[in-house]
C-alpha cells in the first residue's frame, strides 16, 4: 500500500512505515493536482500537516483513500466528521508536539521579559555607537520566577506549558471549560518526580490574576481574547498565542499595547497566515515566529513514528 506524505514526514516515520511494508511517497503535490495524483498512484493513506487541506471534494473523489493523517494536533484543515461518515479513518498526533510548543512559548516569554526581541534587532545596528543608550533602554527587565502564568486551555499543550512554568518557579492558574483539575507530573533528570494538582478556575479570574497569559485553545468561531478580555487583564501583562490564528483579536491586541494594558506579546500564529498584517510585523512590542511551535526535530520524529504506528495498527 502507498502512503503520500504531502507535507513531509520524518525519516523515523518513513523507516517505520517501510518496515511495515508500505511505500512512502514524499512528493509535495499542489492542492489542485492532489485528487488526480491520489487516484493515479492508488494512494491509500494521505498524511498532511497544516499546508494541505482535505475537504469533501477530495474525500468524495478518492474512493481508494483509507486513512487521512494529520501530523500534529489541530485538524481544522480536514473535514474530519465527513471523512469518518464516509468510512475513512482520521488520525492525528495530539501529544507529540506538546513540549515543543511549550518550549517555544517560554522562549518568547523569556525573550519578552528581557527585551531580547528588540535587543537582538538593535545591537547589530547601534551596539557600537549607542551601547549605553541600549543598555538603559532595556534595563527594566522582569523575572518569570515568582510570577503567575495564566493558561487558557488546559489540554495536553496547556499542561505541558504549565510544567515548564512550574519548573521555572512560576505559579500556574488555568481555565478550561471541559476540565476541573489536572495532575501534572514533573520528571527530572535524576529520576525524581514532583506532582502538582492544578484546579481550573474561571476565565475571568485567570485574566485578572495573571502576570503572563498563554493561549492553548482550538480554532473557534468567536475570539477567546477580545477587547473585553483585555480590559480585565492586569496593566502591563505579557501575552503569548501559539495556538491558532483567530482566537485572539489582533486589532484589539495592538490597541491594548498602545494603551499600555499589554506590555508586550508573542505571536506564533496569525489570523491571516501566511501573510500577517504589516502592523503586527512592524510592531516593536511583538515577538514573532512563523508558526513554528511544533517545528523541532524531536517533535517531528515523534509525529512520524506515532503516525506510522497508528497506520500499521489500522491497516495491519
Catalytic one of 244, 250, 264, 306: 244
Query: Domain containing 214: what range?
Result: 98-288
Note if 99 is an active site residue.
no
Dump the DSSP string for 86-147: TT-EEEE-TTTTHHHHHHHHHHHHHHHHTTHHHHHHHHHHHTTTSHHHHHHHT-----STT-
pLDDT for res 275: 97
Q: Say how many CA atoms lie within 13 Å of 100 toward its Cβ.
A: 20
pLDDT interval class at 74 (50, 70, 90): confident
Residue-averaged pLDDT of the chain: 97
At residue 316, the pLDDT reads 78
Q: What is the pLDDT, as a whole number, of residue 251?
A: 98
- Asked if 229 is an active-site residue, the reply is no
User: Of these residues, 143, 258, 273, 298, which one is catalytic?
Assistant: 273
User: Is a pLDDT exceeding 90 seen at residue 39?
Assistant: yes
**Adjacent-strand bridge partners of 313:** none
Q: Are residues 78 and 128 in the same domain?
A: no
Q: Quick one: 281 and 207 in the same domain?
A: yes
Tell me the CA end-to-end span of the chain in Å, nearest whole number: 11
The answer to whether 100 and 107 are in contact (CB under 8 A) is no
pTM: 0.89
Count of domains in the chain? 2
Whether 43 has a pLDDT exceeding 90, the answer reads yes
Q: Quick one: 54 and 142 in the same domain?
A: no
**Is 300 a residue whose pLDDT tops 90?**
yes
Q: What is the mean pLDDT of residues 228-242?
A: 98
Domain match, 166 and 263 both: yes
For this structure, is 273 an active site residue? Answer: yes
Residue 197 and residue 151 in one domain: yes
Interval 185-202 mean pLDDT: 98
Helix H or strand E segment including 186: strand 181-187
Residue 22 scores a pLDDT above 90: yes
* Same domain, yes or no: 42 and 165: no
Mean pLDDT of 47-54: 94
Q: Is the pLDDT of residue 182 over 90?
A: yes
Provide the CATH number for the domain around residue 306: 3.40.50.720
Same domain membership, residue 102 and residue 69: no
Cell matching residue 104: 517555544
Task: Tell me the per-residue pLDDT of 148-177, one tens digit each, with 9 for 90 and over.
Answer: 999 999 999 999 999 999 999 999 999 999
Whether residue 50 is predicted with pLDDT greater than 90 in this model: the reply is no
Mark whether 139 and 281 lie in a shared domain.
yes
Q: What is the pLDDT of residue 73?
A: 84
What is the reported pLDDT for 137? 96
What would the pLDDT profile of 104-118 be if each residue is shown by its tens digit? 999 999 999 999 999
Q: In the predicted model, what is the mean pLDDT of residues 133-157? A: 97
Q: CB–CB of 163/172 below 8 Å? A: no
Average pLDDT over residues 231-256: 98
Residue 284 shares a structural domain with residue 139: yes
Amino acid at each position: 500500500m502507498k502512503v503520500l506524505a504531502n507535507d513531509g514526514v520524518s525519516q523515523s516515520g518513513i523507516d517505520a512505515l517501510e518496515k511495515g511494508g508500505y511505500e512512502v511517497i514524499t512528493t509535495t503535490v499542489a492542492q489542485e493536482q492532489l485528487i488526480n495524483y491520489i487516484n493515479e498512484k492508488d494512494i491509500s493513506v494521505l498524511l498532511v500537516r497544516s499546508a494541505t487541506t482535505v475537504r469533501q471534494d477530495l474525500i468524495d473523489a478518492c474512493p481508494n483513500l483509507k486513512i487521512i493523517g494529520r501530523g500534529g494536533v489541530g485538524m481544522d484543515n480536514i473535514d474530519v466528521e465527513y471523512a469518518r461518515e464516509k468510512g475513512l479513518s482520521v488520525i492525528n498526533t495530539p501529544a507529540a508536539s506538546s513540549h515543543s510548543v511549550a518550549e517555544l512559548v517560554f522562549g518568547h516569554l523569556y525573550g519578552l521579559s528581557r527585551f531580547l526581541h528588540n535587543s537582538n534587532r538593535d545591537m547589530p545596528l547601534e551596539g557600537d555607537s549607542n551601547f549605553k543608550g541600549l543598555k538603559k533602554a532595556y534595563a527594566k527587565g522582569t523575572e518569570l520566577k515568582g510570577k503567575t502564568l495564566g493558561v487558557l486551555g488546559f489540554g495536553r499543550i496547556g499542561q505541558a506549558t504549565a510544567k515548564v512554568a512550574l519548573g521555572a518557579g512560576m505559579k500556574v492558574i488555568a481555565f478550561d471549560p471541559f476540565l476541573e483539575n489536572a495532575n501534572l507530573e514533573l520528571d527530572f533528570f535524576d529520576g525524581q518526580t514532583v506532582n502538582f494538582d492544578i484546579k481550573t478556575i474561571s476565565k475571568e479570574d485567570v485574566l485578572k490574576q495573571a502576570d503572563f497569559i498563554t493561549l492553548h485553545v482550538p480554532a473557534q468561531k468567536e475570539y477567546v481574547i477580545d477587547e473585553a478580555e483585555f480590559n480585565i487583564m492586569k496593566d502591563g501583562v505579557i501575552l503569548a498565542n501559539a495556538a491558532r490564528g483567530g482566537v485572539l483579536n489582533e486589532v484589539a491586541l495592538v490597541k491594548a499595547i498602545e494603551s499600555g494594558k499589554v506590555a508586550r506579546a508573542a505571536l506564533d500564529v496569525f489570523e491571516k497566515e501566511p501573510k500577517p498584517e504589516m502592523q503586527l510585523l512592524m510592531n516593536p512590542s511583538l515577538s514573532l515566529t512563523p508558526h513554528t511551535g511544533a517545528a523541532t526535530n524531536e517533535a517531528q520524529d515523534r509525529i512520524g513514528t506515532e503516525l506510522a504506528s497508528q497506520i500499521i495498527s489500522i491497516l495491519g
